Structure 1
């Protein structure tokens, strides 16, 4: 089990990602929609940790209530290794990196075991499209999604997702004042 702190996308962007998941499905390819608990929502993870149980999230909630970045999902990418992870890369901006750093600073005094690839300096902001693609499926998925249109997303909510069950605990939703 792990917990992910995730930025969820506005309705328009979420529908656009769902459409990409459907294209993969229509071509007989796995997508995040068909993985594990099947409750995945399009998102960009800010961190993944072994557990957030018992963590004081007061400082984090303050950061999340102040501002949220706009996301531009503008590239199709693949993480190296045997896991076959295909994703939409979020354009890295000063605003996004500052927000990510503030989230991690708000969690710094907690005894959280963050997954190293989500720490500042290592993080590749992304929206996962598929996991577990075989080599030939990666090629096929890239071919069928090659002409996707970049997606501009407003972060509509932020929450913690239990990666085993898909249960989401909301931290912040709606517009920021």
Structure 2
């Protein structure tokens, strides 16, 4: 089981990402829409935790400064090992600083983070495909390219249990 600190999108942006997921699924490319429990939200993860004390983590995140909603534009896609593909957003400059501040607070709360979310290693991304085979990558890339560019708006944050799909809204955007 893992826990993720996620930035979530406004209704319009959430709907647009789900529309992309539907297009990919229609071509037989697995997405978060059908992955595991099927209750995944389109999101941008600030951190993925391998071990944590939930109360300490929630308190640490609540103590971080409030950030304003923001928009980001996606012009391309990324592929990761294991058949995973994601949208590559252009983030505002302060978002990387806020992600690093979030990681520091999580560490101070005793959480153990996945190494890909350490400052300097974090690659901002929004999941598109979860298990595309090598032969599906060109189709996935075409579908995503035809869908872009897209502007997405972050308007809230949550702590999400990725195994069960349960979420706990955070008091403000981080």
TM-score by length of 1: 0.88
Partner of 1:89: 88
Report the alpha carbon displacement of residue 55 of structure 1 after superposing the two structures with TM: 4.7
* Structure-1 separation of matches of 2:98 and 2:23: 32
Q: Confirm or deny that 1:140 pairs with 2:134.
A: no
Unaligned 5+ runs, structure 2? none
Residue number in structure 1 paired with 2:47: 47
The list of structure 1 runs, each at least 4 consecutive aligned residues, that deviate by more than 6 angstroms after superposition, is: none
Task: Compare 151-160 and 40-49 and name the one that shifted more.
Answer: 151-160
Cα distance in 1 for partners of 2:92, 2:123 equals 12
> Aligned pair 1:30/2:24, yes or no?
no
Q: For residue 88 of structure 1, report the CA deviation from its aligned partner.
A: 0.8
Query: Which whole-Å deviations, capped at 9, do the CAs of 1:84-121 have from their partners, x for residues lacking one?
Result: 11111121432111111221222231221100101110
Would the alpha carbon gap of residues 88 and 146 (structure 1) be closer, same or farther in structure 2, given more than 3 Å must change? same
The Cα RMSD (Å) is: 2.0
Aligned length: 173
Distance in 1 (alpha carbons) for counterparts of 2:35 and 2:54: 28
Where does structure 1 lack aligned partners over 5 or more consecutive residues? none
Aligned-partner Cα distance in 2 for 1:165–1:27:
26
Deviation at 1:74, TM superposition (A): 1.2
DSSP-derived class of the 2:94 partner: helix
Q: Which residue pairs with 1:77 in the alignment?
A: 77
Change (3 A) 1:80 1:54: closer
Does structure 2 retain, via aligned residues, the 8 Å contact 1:78–1:84? no
The structural deviation recorded for 1:156 is 2.1
**Is 1:122 matched with 2:124?**
no
Q: What SS class does the counterpart of residue 127 from structure 2 fall into?
A: strand
Q: Secondary structure at the match of 1:16?
A: helix
Change (3 A) 1:51 1:75: farther
Partner in structure 2 of residue 106 of structure 1: 105
| CA distance in structure 2 between the aligned counterparts of 1:140 and 1:44, rounded to whole angstroms | 23
How much does 1:68 deviate?
4.0
Alignment of 1:1-12 (within 5 A): 1-12=1-12
- TM-score (normalised: structure 2): 0.89
